Structure formats: structure tokens, C-alpha cells
Structure 1
Amino acid sequence: MRIKYISLLYFLLFSFFGFSQDKCDYSIKLKLVNASDLTPIYGVVVKFIEIDKTYLSNQQGYLIIENACEPLAHLEIMSQFYKAKTIKVDLRKQSNLSIKLEELQQELAEVIVQNKLVPKQQVNQLNATQIESQFSGSLAKSLDEIPGVNSIEIGAGSSKPTIRGFSFNRVLVTENGMRHEGQQWGSDHGLEVDALSVEDVEVIKSASALAYGSDAIGGVIKLNTNKAPQDEGLTGSYKLFLRSINNTLTNNINLAYKNENWFAKFKGTLTDYGDYNLPTDTINYLSVNMPVENRRLKNTAGKERNIMFTGGFVSDKFNSALSISRNYFKAGFFPGAHGVPSVTRVVDDGDRRNIELPFQNSTHFKVTSQNTWIFKNANLKLNLSYQNNLRQEWSDFNTHYSSQEPPETNADLELEFDLNTYEINLEHNYYHSKKHNLTTGLQLQAQKNAIKGFNFLLPNYDRQMLGAFAIHSIELNKKLEIDYGVRLDIAQLNTEALFDQRLFNYLLFRNNSEEVAIENAQRSETINRDFNNFNFNLSSNYKLNNKLNFELNLGTNFRLPTAIELSSNGIHHGSFRHERGNPELNPEKGYIIDGSANFNNDQVNISFSPYLYYFTNYIYLNPSGIFSKLPHGGQINQYTESKALLTGFELYYKHQITKRFSSSISLEYLWNTQLRDETEGNFALPFSPPNNALIKLNYDIKDYKYLKDTNLSFITEIAAAQNRTAQNEEATPGYEIFGLNLASRLQLRNFTANVNLRVMNMFDTKYFNHTNFYRALEIPEMGRNIQLMLSIPF
């Protein structure tokens, strides 16, 4: 009998434990959000330690742990851009949990991330520390290490970005969610952005017309400058930047104060630099040999004065930030670039830092307001902005009109463009479920441009644009996600007619007939154009496993013709030619197919991204064969359109060879052509960067006393010869240059300083950059440059 009772007891115990082990119905829904602004975070890895299983947050920041047998869970949360943390969760008591992650400021990493507003595609993201480590005097130049991204340099202190060979109005720059509007059509016009005030950058290397509209054919560069600080109280940093190439001195200060939900920030930058060094003694422009005295390019000095104020409020239900900024830039032009080449104008004046005629200056004033309402399954964003971009180019009036009396006021003001832009963006994100997300948006913009100056290039104009889009994201299963969307754009552009009395008098003085003088002095006609366009996009992301995924993107793209393309008619010294618009141009339209294959494990990271663009009417400047009647005009270049094809790929490979030693290589291949009549010849598209490679060898040095996180990098930049050129564009030989980078963190008790020392063009090699602003003047790139970045947080 006793044995029966014991057997029954054992049976009941085993039945109980067996029943308990079969209870695997615990579940929890997690949401991963940014601690600063509570926006969802995609791609966060969450490891359930007890069962050794990992999960990944989706586009809305959600992930669900289902059918767990363990009631107590230790969750390890990891992300390359946020601080790792481990939390303990009782699954019996919690079914929903929001987890706030703080951004990682010291981590240097380049990853493929998910963009929240556009179909899934490759995005390179840089945080503030990376921008500092790669800073080269301007923001666009600091992005050169990203595969497929290059820059058009304008002297030593300014540059503009190119993505996959697209630049100017084919690459869109946004700041705090709003389009950055300046005179971006000019090759001598850099970005009026303070690079040292940027907190993070996302570079989208694909057509992004659905979410952003016109000008996003090549890609989008998204800048963020108004994030809420993470720490309570007063925090900040001081940065000192020095360059040997032109004696640059930059001082930057960032201050932030946070009190619970409220915050305020101040940012300011002062930069001064002198004429920059060249690895040559002479240059040749229009068959004239000009000396480069002391190997310094005369009148290329400049300065920047930037300031920004931000105030905001952050909570679980509502976020708001108001930013006011003013960026001022002034820099000289090499005197040989204006008028007839003259050796006497380039004689060294003994002052390396003065700025004489000719020069440019720009002031960009901007007010932006970002507002987000957060609901249970949705959020609503309302962004407002006002921008004023005042750009002036000054040169000696008598250089161009020696036979006439100069204007009574501002006699040497050659060109002035006063552009005012108002913009409203409304966006709604609805998370129907963990597998469905619908994003809809409405964008309105109004612009008005007014001109002054004794010369003419662009008329007064106004432009209005309205865009509406919808993007639906679907997670079909754990491996496959797709996005599809549509966009409608409506726009109107109006330009004013202008008769140039000064040019009329000049032409009569030069013995031209009255008929010829009237024809050429009518610089612009009244234009009233209406445009509309419809676009679609389909993209997919297939995750084969935790190490390998594939992306594919199909769609249409478009770009509205600009006022400069429709109605310009004058000498643009920024591009050294007479440019004339074409009022009959149609919106630029085309098709795109691109994709990527990405492999990543503990030792190797490989990304391969091919692309193909086809345009039914690509807009570009074409030599007309007609010589200009304007002073020093040369041949007239006329805006025209034709079919075009652009294709290529980017390859990135990184190998963690040992714990401390790694290597990486970035390759970019680009091929394009105009598809014109065979009798006219099919030339390449203008400003196409050559095929290029960037090779880096990195070694992490062991901490030594006060030096922490020390890293040494050897960098090799290789560019192939660019022999496929547009009409009247010079071929450029290839080059190979070498650099060195040493970065470390100095830690002395409570004092911290991040130090970055770079040597560029180590062997003072003479070479040419095909897309450089001064390439047409046969001016080589800058010589050896040693620069120091010192950052002190407090």
C-alpha cells in the first residue's frame, strides 16, 4: 500500500512539472524608442538570454516575443548607435513595454540602417563624432569616405556633394526635416550649413522622389541639428580645428540645457582661413601661364560666422523644437577666373588672409519648427520653415565694362540673388499592426527670388509647389518586407522679362547694329509654366538569415526644371562660361532600378550596390557653336535635353583581421552617356566623377596611461583617369594619394579631450580632381595638409 501511495505521489509530481514545462504561452510586445525624441528605432537586436534567442525591431520600433516558456526574462539590448543595456522583465506581469535607448556618442561605425520615410534602401549614417573625425573643412568634403559620395570643392573652405555622379539640383539636402534652399544650381555655391553643429547625417544613395519630391533623383542628405539633449542640466563641448594648408582657425562651441521636458541649445562657429597652398609654381588658363607665387593661390582666403538657437519640449505624447540659425560665408575668387587672364592681377600682395575683389558672400537665415504628436498606433508631424538666402558676387566693374560709368551705389556688385522660401510639411504615420505601416504626407512650398547687380544671370522669379504622397510598408513574413507608394506633384514657375540697358549701350559702343544690340540686351522673357507629375516606387527587403539580406528598388523619378535652366542668359564666372536657358524644357523624367546585397558577421562586412538610371529627357548644358556678344563671353552654352543612361555600382568590404587590426576598401564604378542622334555623338554627362577607390588600414592601439581608444589609420585614395567627358570638358588624369589619421581620447581624471590628427596628400602630390570648381582653370588640388581637431566635452 505504501508503494502505491509513493508511486501516486511521484506520478502527480511529474504530471505537475510536465504541465508546468508545457506552459509556453508567455509573450510581450516591446517598443524601442530614441530617448531624445521618442522616435522608433529600427534594427535593434534584443537577445532573450535564458533561451539564447535574438529578435529584431521592425520599422515602427516594435518586436514581439511569443510562446516563451520562461516567465522571467533577462533581455540584452544592442544597437550600433545606441548604448547597450540589459533589463529584467517578468512576463507574468508585463505584456507591453516601451524601452528608451540613449544615443552612443563615442562609437565610430558606418552601417546600413532603415529610413523611416522612404522605401527600404541603403542609407549611410554618421553621428557627430564621425563627422568630427572625418571633417575636412566643409560638410560635403567630410562625406567623401562613403561609397558613391564625392564632393565638388570650391577652394579650400567650401564644397557641395555629388551622389552617383548627380549633383546641383539632383541631390537634395534637408535640415531638421525641411528642404535646404539656396542657390544650389551654381558650381561655386557651397552648402550654407555649419558642419560642426550637425548632430547626425543620413545619406540616402537612391532615388527618393516619393518622400521628398523634386531634386531627389541622386539621393538625399538628411541633417539633424535640433535633437533634445539626453542629460539633465547644463552640458556642452568646445572644438578647435586647425589646418596647415591655409592656416585655418576654427572655434566652435555647443551648449545645451535640459530641465525635465524642456530644453534649450546654443551653437556657434567662427572660422578664418588664408590663401591655400598648391603643389605647383605655375598654372595655365586660356593659354596664359600664370605664376603661383610662394605656391599659394591668391585671394582664396575666407571666413565663416555661424550661430544657432534651439528650444524645445519632449514628452511621451508631444515633441516640439524651434530653431533659428544664421550662417554667413565670405571667400575670395582667384582673380584669373574673372575677365581676361592677366598676370599682373595674380601678383602676391603680401597678405595671405585678406579678401579682395572678386569675392562671394552669402547669408543664410533659417527658422524651422518641428512638431510631433504621438498616439497609440500613429504619429502626426507638422514642420514649418522660413529661409532667406542672400548671395552676392562682387568684382571690379571696369573689368567687364571699361568704357562705361559704374553704378552710383554698390558699383562693384556684380550679382545678387535674394531668395525667400516658405514651406509646410504634414506627415501622418499609421501603424495598423506590427506588419503594416501607412505613411501619408503633404508638402507645400513657395519661393520668390529678387536680383540686383550690374551683370545679369538669372531673372526675378517665383515658384509654388504642392506634393502629396503615400507609402505602404508590409512585412509579409519574418524574411520579406515590401514597400510601395505613389506621389503627385503640381508646380508653377513665373519669371520676369528684363532689358539690359547697360549691355545695349555697350554693344552699340562696340559698333554692333541696333537690331543686334536689342536682341542681346533682352536678357529674359516673361515665362509662366505649369507642371504636374505622377510617380511610383516599389521596393523589397529579403532577409535570408541573420548574416545576409538583399534589397531591390524599382520606380520612376522626376525633377522640375529650375529657373536657371529655363531663363538664364549671362556669363556665370562660377562656371567660366556664358549660360543660356531654354524656356521649352520639360520636367526631367526617368526610371531607376537599384539594389544591394549585404553580408555581415563578426569578421567580415560586405555590401554590393548596383544601380541603373534611364532618363527620357536629361537636362544639361550643351555648346551651341555661337559666340557670345557679352564681354569676355566666349561660346554660348545652351540648356538642352536628351535621353541619357547612367549605371554603376558601389562595393564596400571590411575585414576584422585581428582584435585590433582591420582593413576596408570602398570601390565606386560609374558609367554614363547622353543618348542623342548618332550624328551628334554620345558624350558623357558633365561633372561625372571618375572610378575611384578608398583603402584604409586601421589599428586600435592598446590604452596607455591617459590615452584611451587610440586608433591609427593609413588611407590610400585612388582615382582612375576620366577620359569620358561632356562637350568642352577637359579629360583628367588619374592619381593616387596617401594619408594618415591618428585619433585618441585623453582622459585626465574628470577632464576628457578627443584628439584627431590627420595628414592629407602626405607626399605633396600634384593632381587634379575632375569635379573641382577650379579644374577648368588647370589649377591642381591642394598640397600636403596637416589638420588637428580637438573636442572637449563638458
Structure 2
Amino acid sequence: MKFFWIGLFLSLFGYQSFSQNTDKNTLSGTVESETGDALEGAYVKINGKFFWTSSNGKYTAQLIDGLHEVHVTMIGYESVDTVVKLDQDLQLDFKLSPSVTGLEEVLLEGHEHKKTSQQVLYVDNEFIENQFSGSLASTLERMPGFNAMQIGSGASKPIIRGLGLNRVAVAENGIKQEGQQWGADHGLEIDALQVENLEIVKGVGSIAYGSDAIGGVVRIKNNTTPSEGFSGNVYSFAQSVNNSLGSSVKLSYSQDDWFIKGKFTGISFGDYSLPAEEISYLNFNIPIYDEKLKNTAGKELDWYGQAGIIKDNFSSSLSISKVYQKSGFFPGSHGIPDISRVQPDGDARNIEEPFQRVTHFKVISNSNFIYENGELDLDIAYQRNHRQEWSLFHTHYSGQEPPEVNPNLELDFDLHTYSTRAIYHHNFNRDHETQVGVDLQWKDNDISGFNFLLPEYQAGNYALFAIHEYKASANNLWSFGLRFDYGIIDMEGYYDPNLYEYLIGRNQPEETARAYAQRSEDLNRDFSSLNARMGWDHSFNKNWSTKINVGTAFRLPTAIELGANGIHHGSFRHEQGDPNLDPEQGFMADLNLSFVKDSWNISISPYAYFFSNYIFLKPTGTFSVLPHSGQLFKYTESEAILTGLELAVDKEFGRWHFSLAGEYLYNQQLTSDRSRNFPLPFTPANNLFTEVGYKLFQDSGVFNLSELSINNRLMMEQDRIAQGEEITTGYALWGLGWQNRLNINGFKASVNLRVDNLLNERYFNHTSFYRRLQIPEMGRNIQLNIKIPFGGS
């Protein structure tokens, strides 16, 4: 914790002792389309440093005197390059010509942004708002190599290249999001509608972000400087499948060298519809009344505030946010199924027990100090993730009394995280840049509730890393990274007297009963890991380019993997940790080959991972001693391989555009007994997404960028399953979309109408939380989104 307060002090007061004598001038201007519309979120790259345009298309940069290379890009438009000589304040405006449209908004690779050897997908706020599907991960699902682990209709979590849970890091403004990521029933506590820009790094991101980034990183950037004056917008949506209603309001004000921003989101949804009249679970036939899944309603209330200051050689911002989510669990998902519990209660929007409630509070300080040949980024953060699962008190033992306080609180996890991250960038010359960083984190997790799953613990992670980039030529960029991590974890033991009495009452020997009643032992362990990565970005010519990465990957075992020992109703089984697990270690290699010409944009990406000790939950084949718990699942480690191939194609034919994104996945355990080499759990099926769009009203002054599209998501049968999983049949989902930008006598609005699962297909998602209950996914959904901007100059 002391590192947090030291870093915060440096961030807030370091500027007072920092000064530069270098003369600087202001380069500013606007980025617009050929029709004069401001382009928000365009990249303006100046000598390797990036700036984003505001909602009015404006950018501002403080630069030293001399020559500067300026590169302007906006997905969907042709890029512009120029060189300017700066010896006084200068205004430089750009007009960009349209290029390909559609999925290229997220599929254009790193050569259209900051040149990097890693494979990166770029997403802006406009794409998220147009494709919003109730949560951030589900909104991004149409990209190759990216899937969502669904948790009802209002929550999900990301899967990259078949890796999810604790193997994908999510970072906001440089700080890793910390919650209870290990749970299949735990969503991502991020407000998708407040995201300004986002990058998805596919492949190992461990060098920069450490443990949990073994599959990739979702980098959220909420630090765009707003345009001068007051501006904002209102975004509202409605969904038919769960009668969802939501609105998000964004406000900003900027003047001279300071700005403030505020964002507010409220969402309410009811029980969702599914094309089924009955489900079968644990040999029970459970009716689904009115094709509504009872008690899957929920609500969300989020707010975000940011204030910042921008000086010639220093900038700093302070962001404070809170995400509150509450959603019900289908009653059959907790405890033994009971038909009486799923009968309709006449209110499709109420939230009864069992339900989950989570609050994520976050404070992030970002500061940037600019020197003559480098700069220092200092990020300080505090997070509190408070997650609760509520269920009517029920006991598996005779004589267990409900708690006096909150008797229906089943599980309570209260996680406090303190983070400090500092990176110094040094430019030796135009061809060599080195980053040296320190990454410090401390976590404290408290528990309560009438059920036990995870002991209390404290954990720390301390890391040093360095990344060097060498631009060997205009067509070759080499990247080298090295990172050392040292982690500690201190877990408290837990003794269960009720279990002891239960086992004694069933004539178990006293020694056996005492051993099982000690649900977890005191545990104090430390871990270390040294990892490296090398990457190469090469352009063969103006049409062909490639990226190659090789390196090692690691992940420290988590508290749930080391110390879990209880019935996890969220996963419908008894889960038990192994205190002797080692850090997960792997080797990876990936390749990307891209072709761009005449509005063709084709990308193919094969990759392979080898893990010496992949950690996963494995059924033991024995029944748990805990009552009503079924088979015991234990965290174990095994050699494993994971490989796959991603394909993306975009093409424009006049008014038509065509997009395709496909993914093939293959993984397997490697053991001495080949007959036991099962696939890894939670692996998405091979899939293909295609979309065809047609531009309408190109000569209209009212309808701008109007497009009608039809899409299809094809999921293959998933018959390569882990132990304890069931085969999931394939399916094909059709969808329609119509998006418009209206301009009626100066009144501007974006209106998007979308229909998902057009044919009301009955299907199962292999990675869904409700898959184990044989519950199909949501039925046909009609969604309307409207965004109205206001203010600005």
C-alpha cells in the first residue's frame, strides 16, 4: 500500500519541481471528412507520439521548434502524411477521403496506427455504440479471435484465442482492472458506453501488463482531451428481447489548459426471452413459462468523472468512476431444481433471490512528464471490487444456524487493490526507443457469507520490465522485451465446525472429520518469473506486410486456484484448489500476414502456444464429502498446446461492402496417458462472421452515411470438449442492420436499428454461464439506438 501513496504524492506534486527550458509552440487544427463533418477519434501521430481528435475533430500538440513528421489516420478513411516546420504557433487542418467501410473499423492492423510488431485491433466509441449488445465483451464479439463468455443478458467477459477468465487482462488508462475474474458467473465491471477508444492486443501481453495477460489485453483509453468549450451527447437504446431501456449522457468542458468530463449511464432490463418451453437439468424437466427465463432481470447504474491539466511539459488527469450492477440468477442455477421456484410471479422486471450484486469503485491518476529526449508516464490507482451473491439461507448440515446479520448473504468478496505503474520512454535517436518500467500491485481480499468457497488473502506483485524498439529501416521494426516478476500471497486458514459435526454424525472417524473440516490451511508462498518477447514488423511493399512474435508467457496462480474448497453454485460443483501449484509457464509464436490494395484488406494470423503447466479445473472422478455437492473438481496442472488461425477480409465494391471474420481453434492436454488428453475447458467453437452492406441516400442532405446490412454468424459444432462438458451443436444466426446519421436543419443525430437472431433460432453457446443447465441463448432481439450530440464550437 505504501507504494500507492508514494506514487500518488509524486504524481500530484511532482510538477512543482519539474521544469524545462526548451522552447515550444502549439500545433493545432481540425480533422474533417470531405463533406465537412468533424472526425472524432482520429489519430494524429507526430514524431511517434499520438493525439486523438475531440468530438469536434480538433487536436492540439505542444512541440519543440524544428521539423515534425505528421501522420493522420481515421479508420474508414485514407491516411495523410506530411512534414511541417514549426517555429511559431501553427494551425494545420486535414480533410480525409473515404476508404473501406464496415468491419475495417476494428480490423485494421497496427500499421494504420502506432507501428508495432504486436497484432492490435482498434475500436472507437462509435463502433461500440452502433453494435452495443448489453455489455462490452458481447459488443466486440464480431472480431476474429474474440469471443464472449455470456452471463445472462447484461454481463459477459472476454475470451481471446480461446483463453479467458484470468488469462485476459483488461486495462483502463494503463491500470489493470481487478475483480473476481476467475468466476464463470462473474461479469466485467466496465461500462461499455463510457469507453472512448479501445485496443485489443492479441497474443501475449505479459511484458507490459504481467500476469493475466497471457492471452491478450483489452486496453481501454478514456483520456481523450475534449474540444474547447462545452460539448456532450445523449445516447439511448431499447431492446425487445428483455425489454431493456438505457441511456448514457456525456458532458465535457475545456478551456485553455484544463478540462473536465462527466459520464452517466443507467440501464434497466427484464427477464429475457428464449425460444424454449422446457429445459432439462439434473434429470429434472423444468418448464419455461411464457418463454421467459425467470429472475434474469437486472439493472446497472454507472458514473465517471475526469479532470485534467495540460501544460507544455506536463499533463495530468484524475479519473473517478463507479459501476454498480445487480442481476438475478435463474432459480434453477442455485441448489436443487424446484419447479415451484420458476413459476411466474407477474413481474418480469423484479429481482428476487438468488441474485448477484457488484460495485466497482476506481480512482486513477495519470501523469506525463516530458523531457528533451524522453518522457515519464506515472499511473497510480485504487480499486475496490465488492461482489455479493444472495440466496435464501439454506443449510447442507443439520444444526447450522443462519447468521445474525445478512442471513441470506451466501458469498461476499471485498477486494481492495492498490497499483503504481511508472514507465520512462527514452529516444536515443529516430531509430531507437527504450521503455523501462516498474509495476507494483497490492491486493487485500476479505470474505463473509454463510457459504465458504475462498479464504481471505493478501497478495502482492512487484515487477521490472524493459522494451526496446529498433527501426532498422522504413520497412522494418524490431521489438525486444524482458520482464521479471516477484509475487507473494498470504492466505488465511478456515475451519468449518458444521462440517465436522456433520461428518461425525455420519460415523466418520474423528481424524477424517477434522481433516475435512479444515477447509483451507494457512498458506504463505512466493513466486518469481522471468520472461522475454521478440517481435518483427516488416513491410515487403506498399501492399504486403507481416508481423512475427515469439516469446514466453506466464501467469501466477490465483487465490481461487490455490485455496478454493467449497460448493460454487455459480459453476454448479464443488471446487478445490491445490496449494502446491506453480506459476503457469508457456511459449508462444504468432504470425500475421496482411494485404491491402484497391479497398481489399485481407489478414491471416496463425499462432501456437505450448504450456508446461496449464492450470484448469479437472473432475476427479470421486464424489465430494460435502453434502449435495456431487463430483469433486480440483485445480490441476498439465502440459498443453493451443493453436489456431484467424482470418479477416474486407472489400468495397462501389456502394457495396463485404466483411468476413473467421476463427479456427484447437487445443489439447498433453499427458503420459494419451487416452486422457482431453481438450481444454471453455473453448469456443470454430466460427465465421460475414456481413454485406449497401450504402443508401448518397446524394441526400438529410441521410448521411446511411447503410443497410445483413450479417450471419456461423458457429460450428463443438465436439472437442473437456471432461465434465457436453457437446454443443452448431448454429447459424442471421441479423439485419440499418444505420443513419441524420441532419435536419442543423439538428444532428445518429440512428441505428438492428435485429439479432432474426429467425428466433434456438441455440446454445458453449462458453455461456447457463450452458450447464441446458438453457438456450436469447431469442430474437430488435434494438434501436439514438445518439444526439450537443454543444461544441
CA RMSD of aligned residues (A): 3.1
- Give the drift of 1:520: 2.0
Q: Which one-letter code corresponds to 1:170 in the other structure?
A: R
Q: Which one-letter code corresponds to 1:761 in the other structure?
A: N
Q: Which one-letter code corresponds to 2:424 in the other structure?
A: H
Distance in 2, matches of 1:102 and 1:613, equals 44
How do 1:483-632 residues align onto structure 2 when only pairs under 5 Å count?
483-509=479-505, 512-632=508-628
Q: Check whether the contact 2:305–2:321 (CA below 8 A) recurs between aligned residues.
A: yes
Q: What are the superposed Cα offsets for residues 391-428 of structure 1, whole Å, 9 maximum, x if unpaired?
A: 00011112645753211111111100000000000001
SS of match in other structure, 1:561: coil
Q: Which one-letter code corresponds to 1:776 in the other structure?
A: R
Closer/same/farther in 2, CA of residues 333 and 105 from structure 1, 3 Å limit: farther
SS of match in other structure, 1:433: coil
Q: Which one-letter code corresponds to 1:305 in the other structure?
A: L
Q: Check whether the contact 1:646–1:671 (CA below 8 A) recurs between aligned residues.
A: yes
Equivalent in the alignment of 2:649 = 653
Structure whose alpha-carbon radius of gyration is higher:
1
Q: What are the superposed Cα offsets for residues 145-192 of structure 1, whole Å, 9 maximum, x if unpaired?
A: 110000000000000000000000000000111010000000011111
Closer/same/farther in 2, CA of residues 82 and 316 from structure 1, 3 Å limit: farther
SS of match in other structure, 1:355: coil
SS of match in other structure, 2:500: helix
Closer/same/farther in 2, CA of residues 115 and 639 from structure 1, 3 Å limit: farther
How do 1:166-315 residues align onto structure 2 when only pairs under 5 Å count?
166-229=163-226, 231-315=227-311
Q: Check whether the contact 1:114–1:121 (CA below 8 A) recurs between aligned residues.
A: no
Distance in 1, matches of 2:30 and 2:743, equals 28
Q: Which one-letter code corresponds to 1:421 in the other structure?
A: T
Q: Which one-letter code corresponds to 1:356 in the other structure?
A: E
- Give the drift of 1:81: 4.8
Structure showing greater relative contact order (alpha-carbon pairs closer than 8 Å, 6 or more residues apart): 2
Q: Which one-letter code corresponds to 1:619 in the other structure?
A: I
Equivalent in the alignment of 1:782 = 778
Distance in 2, matches of 1:199 and 1:687, equals 30
Equivalent in the alignment of 1:56 = none
Distance in 2, matches of 1:275 and 1:646, equals 37
Equivalent in the alignment of 2:691 = 696
Distance in 1, matches of 2:98 and 2:560, equals 41
Q: Check whether the contact 1:293–1:347 (CA below 8 A) recurs between aligned residues.
A: yes
Equivalent in the alignment of 2:74 = 80
Distance in 2, matches of 1:757 and 1:165, equals 31
- Give the drift of 1:514: 3.5
- Give the drift of 1:513: 4.4
Q: Which one-letter code corresponds to 1:220 in the other structure?
A: V
- Give the drift of 1:79: 1.3
Q: Check whether the contact 1:81–1:104 (CA below 8 A) recurs between aligned residues.
A: no
SS of match in other structure, 1:505: helix
How do 1:675-686 residues align onto structure 2 when only pairs under 5 Å count?
675-678=670-673, 681-686=676-681
Q: How many positions carry a matched residue from both structures? A: 741
> 2:748 matched to 1:752?
yes
Closer/same/farther in 2, CA of residues 445 and 40 from structure 1, 3 Å limit: farther
- Give the drift of 1:775: 0.3
- Give the drift of 1:375: 2.2
Q: What are the superposed Cα offsets for residues 509-548 of structure 1, whole Å, 9 maximum, x if unpaired?
A: 5554443432222110011111111111111011111111
Closer/same/farther in 2, CA of residues 118 and 601 from structure 1, 3 Å limit: closer
Distance in 1, matches of 2:602 and 2:609, equals 24
Equivalent in the alignment of 1:27 = none
Q: Check whether the contact 1:76–1:85 (CA below 8 A) recurs between aligned residues.
A: no
Q: Check whether the contact 2:144–2:663 (CA below 8 A) recurs between aligned residues.
A: yes
Report percent identity of matched pairs: 45
> 2:406 matched to 1:410?
yes
- Give the drift of 1:316: 3.0
Equivalent in the alignment of 2:659 = 664
Distance in 1, matches of 2:250 and 2:229, equals 14
Equivalent in the alignment of 1:387 = 383
Distance in 1, matches of 2:680 and 2:30, equals 42
Q: Check whether the contact 2:245–2:268 (CA below 8 A) recurs between aligned residues.
A: yes
Structure 2: gaps of 5 or more residues: 1-25, 32-40, 51-62
How do 1:323-472 residues align onto structure 2 when only pairs under 5 Å count?
323-398=319-394, 400-401=396-397, 404-472=400-468
SS of match in other structure, 2:394: helix
Distance in 1, matches of 2:264 and 2:141, equals 25
Work out which of the residue numbers 145, 165, 171 in structure 1 matches 2:142. Answer: 145
- Give the drift of 1:679: 5.6
- Give the drift of 1:227: 2.0
Q: Check whether the contact 2:42–2:73 (CA below 8 A) recurs between aligned residues.
A: no
Distance in 2, matches of 1:474 and 1:538, equals 11
Closer/same/farther in 2, CA of residues 466 and 119 from structure 1, 3 Å limit: farther
Distance in 1, matches of 2:443 and 2:83, equals 53
Distance in 2, matches of 1:553 and 1:592, equals 8
Distance in 1, matches of 2:459 and 2:637, equals 21
Closer/same/farther in 2, CA of residues 102 and 142 from structure 1, 3 Å limit: farther
Q: Check whether the contact 1:330–1:362 (CA below 8 A) recurs between aligned residues.
A: yes
Q: Which one-letter code corresponds to 2:691 in the other structure?
A: K
Q: Check whether the contact 1:474–1:481 (CA below 8 A) recurs between aligned residues.
A: yes
Q: Which one-letter code corresponds to 2:277 in the other structure?
A: D
Q: What are the superposed Cα offsets for residues 362-407 of structure 1, whole Å, 9 maximum, x if unpaired?
A: 0111000000012232110100000000000011112645753211
Q: Which one-letter code corresponds to 1:521 in the other structure?
A: A
